[in-house]
Amino acid sequence: MSWFIGAFPNGNGIISKEFFLQKTAFLPEHRLKICTEQLCLIAGGIAETCQFSVAADETSGWVAAGVGIHFVDGLPTLMTGADWSTVFAGAETDLSSLNGHFAAIGWQNRRIRF
């Protein structure tokens, strides 16, 4: 099983980066932790169901927790990291053709897509 939790720091101290990191310290071992001025995000779980890609400067990326299924040549196929990157590469995220049991988030600068 995989998971992610995140928050948007607002700079006024209600949800600061420090507050987020303090309140999430109880979480099990994570595979990803970023905390920028725009987004704090922690993700964990097994590699097969916790997939992600993050730009070196952390201003863009995506996380998928769970199992996504899409159709390749008419056959249901488990999604790979490359498949998720394709989903989040466009200007809009269309999940209507996907199946499975997952939650996914993508971000670029100040834009968040669920």
Place 106 in a pLDDT band, splitting at 50, 70 and 90: very high
Question: What does the H/E/C string look like for 33-92?
Answer: EEECCCCEEEEEECCCCEEEEECCCCCEEEEEEEEEEEEECCEEEECCHHHHHHHHHCCC
pLDDT at 55 exceeding the cut of 90: yes
Q: For position 12, what pLDDT does the model report?
A: 65
pLDDT at 13 exceeding the cut of 70: no
pLDDT at 14 exceeding the cut of 70: no
Q: Position of tokens 């394709």?
A: 86
Place 7 in a pLDDT band, splitting at 50, 70 and 90: confident
Per the structure, the complete domain to which residue 68 belongs is given by 2-113
Element (H, E) at 105: strand 99-108
> Residue 102: helix, strand or coil by DSSP?
strand
DSSP symbol at 110: T
With CA atoms as reference, report the closest residue to 93 among 2, 85, 7.
Answer: 85
Number of domains in the chain: 1
pLDDT at 103 exceeding the cut of 90: yes
Place 80 in a pLDDT band, splitting at 50, 70 and 90: very high
Instruction: Return d(Cα 50, Cα 60) in angstroms, integer.
Output: 17
Q: For position 107, what pLDDT does the model report?
A: 92
| Predicted structure pTM score | 0.87
